[in-house]
């Protein structure tokens, strides 16, 4: 390489350095800002995670303390006093209150609490569906079989386990009305469903036998 070429390379490298320093001087604050945002974001995520964990622990301790009261009535009152600020916490408290109210013999209050929960549009659908399902069960003595059946039919969409549980309750409403054939039709459909659980299949088989029909062999289609 000639002296001229070497000189040109040195000058070119010097120009590049000058340009780089000029760019850093002009835009370096952007890089610093990006680093600060990344570090700050990570710190905020850790803080938020720690805060959420602490809040969940506090809520759990408050709920357990409420459930440690001596009577169902006292437990309901204590649960009412527990402050919640998350949808999940609100749903959990409502389910616990309904359970304690039912244990105290106040099925109407329990059903009302669950129906109120089912009507909260900001709650995830799974909470609302479970609340409706449990509320219908608590109203067996006050709501007609036909009305409860309509409620269960409205809940039959979604996951297979929930759909089949609702169908089981539909069969029971037919039994209440003395319509054994309609009940058997629902029970046979459950029994032959590919997604039925072992426990539900066993219950359905027992009901079919109780209604006077021999149980189908496993895998047999009664239809």
List, for residues 50-109, the tens digit of each pLDDT value. Answer: 766 777 787 788 888 888 888 888 988 888 888 887 777 888 888 888 888 888 888 888
Q: Is the pTM for the entire model greater than 0.75?
A: no
- Taking the C-alpha atoms of residue 177 and residue 181, their distance in angstroms, rounded to an integer, is 11
Per residue in 165-202, is it b (16+ CB within 10 Å) or e — as a string?
bbbbbbbbbbbeeeebebbbebbbbbbbbeebeeebbe
Task: Answer yes or no: is 213 within a domain.
Answer: no
Instruction: Calculate Rg over the CA atoms of the chain.
Output: 32
Count of structural domains within the chain: 1
Task: Answer yes or no: is 168 within a domain.
Answer: no
pLDDT 10s digits, 196-211: 889 999 999 999 999 8
Query: Which residue, among 202, 174, 205, has the nearest Cα to 188 in the 3D structure?
Result: 205
Q: What is the pLDDT of residue 182?
A: 95
* Residue the block writes with tokens 């608590």: 138
Task: Answer yes or no: is 123 within a domain.
Answer: no
Range of 52's domain? Answer: 1-68
Task: Answer yes or no: is 21 within a domain.
Answer: yes
């Amino acid at each position: 390489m000639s002296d001229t070429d070497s000189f040109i390379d040195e000058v070119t490298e010097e120009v590049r350095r000058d340009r780089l320093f000029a760019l850093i001087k002009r835009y370096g604050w952007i890089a610093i800002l990006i680093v600060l945002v990344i570090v700050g974001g990570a710190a905020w995520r850790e803080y938020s995670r720690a805060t959420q964990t602490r809040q969940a622990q506090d809520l759990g301790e408050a709920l357990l303390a409420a459930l440690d009261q001596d009577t169902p009535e006292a437990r309901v009152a204590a649960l009412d006093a527990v402050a919640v600020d998350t949808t999940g916490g609100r749903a959990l408290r409502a389910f616990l209150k309904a359970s304690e109210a039912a244990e105290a013999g106040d099925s109407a209050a329990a059903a009302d609490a669950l129906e109120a929960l089912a009507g909260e549009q900001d709650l995830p659908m799974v909470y609302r569906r479970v609340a409706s399902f449990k509320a219908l069960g608590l109203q067996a003595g006050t709501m007609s079989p036909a009305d409860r059946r309509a409620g269960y039919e409205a809940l039959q969409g979604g996951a297979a386990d929930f759909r089949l549980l609702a169908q089981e309750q539909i069969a029971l409403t037919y039994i209440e009305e003395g319509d054994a054939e309609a009940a058997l039709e629902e029970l046979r459909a459950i029994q032959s469903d590919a997604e039925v659980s072992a426990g539900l299949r066993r219950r359905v088989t027992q009901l079919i036998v109780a209604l006077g029909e021999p149980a189908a062999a496993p895998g047999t289609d009664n239809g």
